[in-house]
Chain A
Amino acid sequence: MRTKGILLAMALSVASFGAAAQDIGVGLIVPLSAPGDATGGQLIRRGAEIGIEMVNAQGGVLGKKMQLFVQDSQGKPEAGVAAYRRLVSENKVVAVPGFFHSSVSIAVNEVAKDMGVPTLAVQASASDITAKHYDIAFRTHVVDPVRVETWMTFIKQKGFKRVSLIAETTDYGIGLADETLAQAKKMGGIEVQKVMFDRTVTDLTPQLLQVKAFKPDMVINIGVGQPLDLIMDQATTIGLLPNTPMLISYDAPTRPQFWQLHEKNGNGIYFIAYYSPKSKLSDIGDQFAKAYKEKYKEDPVYGALNGFGAVMILAQAIKAGNSADPKTLIKTLESGTYKSWPDAPVTFPKADGVYWHNWVPPVLILHYTAAKQDWKDAEVTVTYSKK
């Protein structure tokens, strides 16, 4: 009986390694549980999965199927690094897209630069992800300076003079807070209050009382996932919201869960977004949007689009380089032009500073003007493109 069991286990493991050897493995590191932004991770995962299905439905790449290996980073750098090692060592993946939390992306890149398998950050914006100019580091997302330039444009447009930042003590929060202080100093005439918090804290009342005492014209909410929602709710209870406008630093309010959580205090919120239905999609972007809507009965949001885009870019690069070798893939990504979900070519030039290997989508500030408003109907307050 025991011998039979061992033989069965051996047969199964041979079968599974055999399958892996025939496919081209792509890793995906996203947060799928707290303290990470699990909803954000789930959306990227949905997009990447549909991307894999679409590539394989068209015959795969280099005559092989693509296979997605998903790992949960929990929004923690150490879990992300362990996930990357597992993907490269055990699953033999050729690239690792994903990354929602900047801290995870930065930590993984430190290991990836030695292990040699490229990473492609789709929703992590800290400068250090690409500013270190590592060969393996690629990104298709907004970087800190561009995000801050967008809200500084908004602050100027509205004539605000006192702005409070309430930011988590992560690479994302610290990076954005410091960049805002630097740009505000350069711009002049704006007083910025910086209030930081640990993202595991659930009672943010002491921080919000400080913000309220500062009497700001606007509050920038730089929380990711659960802290973002807690800040909104707790700011409402102490009378900060809706009296003071609040800007959310990323596109969380486009998610279906937003109005379930903020039915009473979501109206009037401003938020950063990277995609509006008014933006034109590429042909593959259109195909994806249809497939997504059919599968999930809702329109895709940016995270899903960018997760899909990452898989499509990698498939095109493997095909263009006629190789799934990570080193060749890096060279091909650097030199080629790729099609993703937006109606604009995607490139990863060896550019200066933070723009190294970085394609930046246009950034928008959207505004909910009614309760339970569909994000597609939100008012577009600012559209900013990096020149």
Chain B
Amino acid sequence: MYSTELVVQTFISGVMIGVLYALMALGITFIYSIMRMINWAMGEFYMIGSYLQYMLVAWLLGPDLWWLAILVATAGVFGLGLLTEWSLLKPISSKAAEVRSDYATVITLALLLMLRSLATGIAGPNQFTPGSNLPIVMVGPMPMAGARVAAFVFALVALGVFWAVLRYTWYGLALRATAQSRVGVQTAGIDVLRVDRVAFGIGVALAGLAGALLAPVFLVFPTNGLVTTVKGFEIVVIGGLGSIPGALIAGVLLGLIESFGAAFIDSAYQNIYGFVLVLLVLVLRPTGLFGERGREA
């Protein structure tokens, strides 16, 4: 009934979008693992990354320097993340631990609304695209937009660099140690508030990178970050909150389930398949595939 070619094409499509989903979700889980707070405005940093990419390509660098624009846009979102953490989140670090997460929720939700309204006010509700000069590429039997293949490769490289930094650098060690015990790292003389700031910057920069990479593929408009937020949280639940390998595997799993469900069950329910998986994971393994039971001191 279905050709092998369609199955292979659906698989390729699912893996490619899955890796990009993983990149979108990684920031959420990374920030949570370090700061023990959920950044509800993550999608808006994706949106800012996409607008920066559009502005850099369309007005300043041109489509041939798209790769430079991606680096600049990601750096821009990283800087904005540092500023956001310093101005809005650092002040709540003096609050009691049990209410800090509640304050962070209120602040990031307010930030979500503010950034979205600001984008609509400044750029209007219309869609934009930075365009791409990259040719269509054959991935196995499937032709794909050069921009999408470039986004996939860039995402893999970014994930590899992120892993290497965490694994092999002193700062990566400090970040991992903070994720394990915020009190413990202070006894070793590490400035936890500074680690928080850098972690927040890196986390939102990952979302900004996804936004910049996907700007020519999924277009640029004020609410384009919504997909990041929704998919991001689905992945975090499936993979386990705070688990970085979990985010990667859950991203690819979600991409595959959505693609195969849409192609071979019913395309109208593409979004539902992911939620079914979320519900299954919550019932069978509430901490997620790679999550661990939390401990409260």
Interface residues of A (CB under 8 A from B): 32-35, 38-39, 41-42, 169, 195-198, 200-203, 205-207, 209-210, 213, 226, 229-230, 233-234, 236-239, 257, 260-261, 263-264
Contacts and interface: CB of A to CB of B under 8 A. Distances in A.
B126 A196 contact: no
B221 A210 contact: no
B186 interface: no
B263 A198 contact: no
B143 interface: yes
Interface in B234-289: 258-260, 262-263, 266-271
Contacts of B208: none
Interface string B147-172: 01000000000000000000000000
Contacts of B128: 260-261
B223 A237 contact: no
Contacts of B226: 34, 200
A198 B271 CA distance: 7
A341 B132 CA distance: 40
Contacts of B268: 169, 196-198
Nearest to A201: B270
B136 A34 contact: no
Nearest to B148: A237
Contacts of B222: 33-34
Contacts of B266: 196
30 contacts: A33-B223, A34-B224, A35-B223, A38-B124, A38-B126, A39-B125, A39-B126, A41-B125, A42-B126, A200-B227, A200-B271, A202-B218, A203-B13, A206-B13, A206-B14, A206-B259, A207-B270, A210-B263, A226-B127, A229-B127, A233-B219, A234-B145, A238-B142, A238-B143, A239-B136, A257-B126, A260-B128, A260-B129, A261-B127, A261-B219
A210 B125 contact: no
A164 B259 CA distance: 19
Given A230-B219, A257-B126, A213 B270 contact: no
A34 B221 contact: yes
A42 B14 CA distance: 36
A273 B126 CA distance: 20
B94 interface: no
Contact of A237 (B10, B143, B271): B143
A301 to B, nearest CB: 14
B17 to A, nearest CB: 5
B217 interface: yes
Contacts of B14: 206
B252 to A, nearest CB: 14
Interface residues of B, number: 43
A31 B187 CA distance: 55
B126 A209 contact: no
A83 to B, nearest CB: 16
Contacts of B217: 233
A198 B6 contact: no
A228 to B, nearest CB: 10
Contacts of A33: 120, 125, 222-223
A209 B6 contact: yes
A239 B5 CA distance: 14
Contact of A209 (B9, B219, B270): B9
B144 interface: yes
A237 B126 contact: no
Contacts of B87: none
Give 6 nearest A-B pairs by CB, closest first.
A38-B125, A237-B145, A206-B262, A196-B268, A34-B223, A206-B263
B181 interface: no
A169 B227 CA distance: 18
Given A195-B267, A238-B144, A209 B10 contact: yes
Contact of A233 (B6, B13, B145, B271): B145
A233 B129 CA distance: 11
B131 interface: yes
A362 B154 CA distance: 49
Contact of B262 (A35, A207, A234): A207
A257 B3 CA distance: 38
B127 A196 contact: no
